[in-house]
Amino acid sequence: MTAILGISAFYHDSAAALVVDGEIVAAAQEERFTRKKHDAGFPQHAVDYCLEQAGLAPEQIDYVTFYEKPLLKFERLLETYLASAPRGFRSFAQAIPVWLKQKLHIRRELNAGLKHAFTRRFVFPEHHESHVASAFFPSPFDEAAILTADGVGEWATTTWGTGHGNRIELKQELRFPHSPGMLYTAFTYTCGFRVNSGEYKLMGLAPYGEPKYAEVIREKLIDLKPDGSFRLNQAYFNYARGLTMTSPKFEQLFGPRRQPETELTQREMDLAASVQQVTEEIMLRMARHVHEQTGQKQLCLAGGVALNCVANGRILREGPFEELWIQPAAGDAGGALGAALFVWYQLLDRPRTPGRPDAMQGALLGPRFSPTEITQFLDRAGAVYTRYDSADELCDVVAHAIADEHVVGWFQDRMEFGPRALGSRSILGDARSEKMQSQMNLAIKFRESFRPFAPIVLADRVHEYFDVPARLESPYMLLVAGVHPDRLRSLEGDAASLAGLDRLRVARSEIPAVTHVDCSARLQTVSAERHPGLERLLRRFAELTGTPVLINTSFNVRGEPIVCTPEDALRCFLATDMDLLVLEDCVLRKKDQPDAPQHDRTQYLKQFPLD
C-alpha cells in the first residue's frame, strides 16, 4: 500500500487530500471544519479527517506533498520587490515577517501538523504542476490537452501542456505579473467585492451591463496576442508592488473604487461585462492555440480562472475541442489533490486506467454522517423529526414540499470537495416559482438580490430545457448555457426595455428562478451514477410537476462556509427561513420546532464576515 497526503495552505482555501494506491480516498477544505471562509491556515482538521477516513496514522503515510515550491515563490517576491524598490516597501515590510516566520519553513509546519510522526519524503511540485495534475489525472481521458490559469503560483500564471496515460508535460507558460486572474481580480476589487472571493459575484453581475469598457481595456491595459498570451500594462496596476490591486491611473480611467456594500450602479455592471468579455476572449484564444499546437480532441482545465463557467461554456460551444473536463476543485484547494496524484503517477510512474465518468466520485470526498449519528444528535438537540425507512417515500414528501414552494435544506451523503454544493450540502427550491429567486436571496441566503441561482436538471432531459446537445454532461456546475428557446417567454412593452437591476423583475422563462437576465443558466446535470439520492428526488419532482429542474444553491448564508456537520446544518436551518431540513433519512419541519433554541439571526450572520 502507498499512501500519499497532499496539502495546500498558507494563501487561501487550504485543503488536504489523500490518495491510496491511486484511489482518491478523501479530500476536504479546512474552512468547512473551522467555519472560517477561505481559511488559509494549516489544514489540520482536513488532514485529520483524511487520515481517519483511511484509518491511517501519520507514520503510515509514504509521501507528503505540498502543492507548490515555497523557495521559488519567495524568489519571485524578492525579484519583484527589488525591481520596483524603493516603491513597494510597505508591501515588502508587511509580507516578509510572515515569510520569515512561517512560509520559508514549510517542512517544519508540515511536521508539526503531522505531530512529528511522519519521517519519510516530502515532495514539492510547482503550483501549476499541481493544477495540471488535478486537471488531467482524474479526467476520463487517456490523452488530452491541458490548460491552467489563475492569479499566480511561483512565477507562472497560465500554463498549457499535454497528458498521455500516466504522464503530464508542460509546454509553455505565461509569467507574473501578466496574469488573467489578476486582471479579473483588479475589476473585482474596483467593483467593491472582496479579492479572492468576490470574483464569482463579478461574473454574475456581468449580464446586467454592457461591455462599454472592453475597448479601453484592450487599448490601455492589455496587449493581447493571437495565441492568447498577453502583457498587462503595469502602470495601471499595483498588485506587484503595493497593497492594492490597482494604481491611481486605473482610477483615472475607470473611476474610484466602489465602497463595499454601497449601491451598485450601471458603471459596475458595465465594468463587469467588459472584463468578462475580455477574459472570455483570452481563454478562447488560448484554447484555440493549445488545440493548434497539440492536435488533441479533449481539453482539461484547472486553476481559479477555470471556475469562470461562462468562459468555459464559450470554450465548449465556440472552441475547437470535442470534449471538456474541468476539475471541480479548480482553485488552490484542488492543488492538494493534484500534488498527491502528481506523486503517484508522475514520480512513481504507476499505471493509469482512465474511465467514464471520471475518477472524482462526483466530488463527494468529504465527511459523511450515519443515520445513527444523525438521530442521536437530533435527540440530544430535542429536535422534532420524522424518519423515513423508504428513500422513495422520503423523496415523495420532499418533492411535494418543493412543489408547494417550500425551501428545503438537503444534507445527504459525503460532503463535496470544491466550491460548489452539488446536492450533498444544498438548499433546494422550485425553479418554476417567480418569487423564489428573490425569496431565497433575501430571506434564506441574506445576499445581494442580483445574484442568480443555478439549476440542477436530470441528465437525460438537459436538452429539453437548455440549449445544449442531448448528451452534454455538466456534473460539477462549471458550464453556462442558454435556456432552451422553446422555454423562453417573449418580453413586450416596458418589460423589454428595463435596464440594470430592474431586469430582475421580469420572468424570462418557464423556470424563472434559475434563468439569468441574459437567459443563461449555470448547469448541473444529475445522474444516478454520480448523485443517486438527488437523482431520485429530481425524478419524483418531475413526475409530480412535469419539470425535471430545481434550484440548487449551497447550504449556507452569505459569508459562511458550506455546512459540514448536522450541527452546522441545524443552526443554519433555524436561523433562516428554510421550511424543511432533510438530514439523510430524517425530515424536520420548521413549524414543528417550537422548543428549538432561538437563534438570533443578526448574531448568527455576524459570525461570518461579508464576502
Q: Would you state the pLDDT for residue 292?
A: 98
Residue 138 lies in a domain: no
* Spatial distance between the Cα atoms of 204 and 220, rounded to a whole number of angstroms: 25
**Burial of residue 389 (number of CB atoms within 10 Å: 0-12, 13-18, 19+):** exposed
pLDDT tens, position by position, 211-242: 999 999 999 999 999 999 999 999 999 999 88
pLDDT at residue 95, rounded to an integer: 82
* Residue 67 confidence (pLDDT) above 90: yes
Number of domains in the chain: 3
β partners of residue 348: none
Given a cut of 70, whether residue 597 has pLDDT beyond it is no
Q: Is 552 helix (H, G, I), strand (E, B) or coil?
A: strand
Evaluate the omega torsion of the peptide bond into residue 177 and state whether it is cis, within 30 degrees of 0.
Answer: yes
Q: Give the mean model confidence (pLDDT) for residues 584-598.
A: 85
Q: Does residue 567 lie in a domain region?
A: yes
* C-alpha cell belonging to residue 180: 488573467
246, 204: one domain: yes
CA distance 136 to 163: 6
Q: Tell me: the pLDDT tens digits for 163-179?
A: 999 999 999 999 999 99
pLDDT of residue 88: 73
Task: Please give the Cα distance from 558 to 22 (Å, whole number).
Answer: 36
Q: Which three cell numbers stand for residue 358?
A: 471520471
Half-sphere exposure of 497 (CA within 13 A, CB side): 2
Report the chain's mean pLDDT, rounded to a whole number.
Answer: 95
Q: What is the CATH number of the domain that holds 222?
A: 3.30.420.40
Q: What is the pLDDT of residue 598?
A: 61
166 located within any domain: no
> Is there a single domain that holds both residue 461 and residue 598?
yes
Tell me, yes or no, whether 343 and 388 share the same domain.
no
Q: How confident is the model at residue 443 (pLDDT cuts 50, 70, 90)?
A: confident
Residues 446, 321 share a domain: no
Mean pLDDT of 176-197: 96
The values of phi and psi at residue 27, to 5°, are: -160, 140
Residue 140 forms part of a structural domain: no
Same domain, 468 and 561: yes
Same domain, 553 and 433: yes
396 falls within a domain:
yes
Residue 394: the pLDDT is: 98
DSSP state of 265: -
Judgement on whether residues 345 and 376 belong to the same structural domain of the protein: no
246 and 370 inside one domain? no
Mean pLDDT of 280-292: 98
Query: Between β-strands 323-326 and 549-554, what pairing exists: parallel, antiparallel or unpaired?
Result: unpaired
Same domain, 520 and 399: yes
Confidence at 487, pLDDT banded by 50, 70, 90: very high
Q: In sequence order, what DSSP letters do the residues of 397-444 get, joined into one string?
A: HHHHHHHTT--EEEE-SSPBSSSS--SSEEEEEETT-SSHHHHIIIII
Shared domain check, 448 and 578? yes
Q: Are 558 and 447 in contact (CB under 8 A)?
A: yes
Strands 23-29 and 15-20: antiparallel
- Is there a domain that residue 159 lies in? no
CATH of the domain at 378: 3.90.870.20
Residue 86 has pLDDT above 80, yes or no: no
Which of 325, 347, 374 is the last residue in one of the domains?
A: 325
Boundaries of domain holding 430: 365-606
Residues 321-348 have pLDDT tens digits of 999 999 999 999 999 999 999 999 999 9
Mark whether 349 and 293 lie in a shared domain.
no
